[in-house]
Amino acid sequence: MNISLGVDHGALGLREALLEHLQANGHTVIDHGTHSADSVDYPDYATKVCDDVNTGKADCGVLCCTTGIGMSMSANKVPGIRAALLHFESEAALTRRHNNANVACFGAHHTTPYEACRIIDTFLANKFEGGRHERRVHKFCQFENQQSS
């Protein structure tokens, strides 16, 4: 699977762990960085990852910042993106199966590298169920399209 990864200066430890873990499990990672502790603007990295997902360059995205909140808010402003801030494996499974999430977000202050690796494995292992969930996802996608017109 092709996975686009972007982090800010507050999540370098998660970047290293996720990058190594994903590559070790056979995934191709498009690494947008950041690569240093110098302060950067997280929306810049969210945009790069979301562009990869929307253009099909990546099958899904992973974004990390200090809390995960800024990245998830930034990503969810991009039409076509369904980003979820994840803390537990159960959230990862359900957001993929029920919400058709295509970007996973993590907060370095609340998620250890070990937890993030387990959660991303769950995220990637699950697929959208469709069915009754399809109409709900369709509704919020319609709302998104109305707002961007």
Which of 50, 60, 64, 65 is an active site residue?
Answer: 65
Three-state SS string over 64-104 comes to EECCCHHHHHHHCCCCCCCEEECCCHHHHHHHHHHHCCCEE
Q: Looking at the predicted structure, is the pLDDT value of residue 122 above 90?
A: yes
Give this prediction's pTM: 0.94
Residue 86's pLDDT is 98
Instruction: Please give the domain boundaries of the chain with CATH numbers for all domains.
Output: 2-148 (3.40.1400.10)
pLDDT digits (tens, 9 = 90+) for 65-92: 999 999 999 999 999 999 999 999 999 9
Q: Residues 72-109, buried b or exposed e (16+ Cβ, 10 A)?
A: bebbbebeebbbbbbeebebbbbbbbbbbbbbbbbbbe
| Mean pLDDT computed over every residue of the chain | 94
Residue 65 annotated among the catalytic residues of the structure = yes
Which of 27, 87, 98, 110 is an active site residue?
Answer: 98
Residue 60 annotated among the catalytic residues of the structure = no
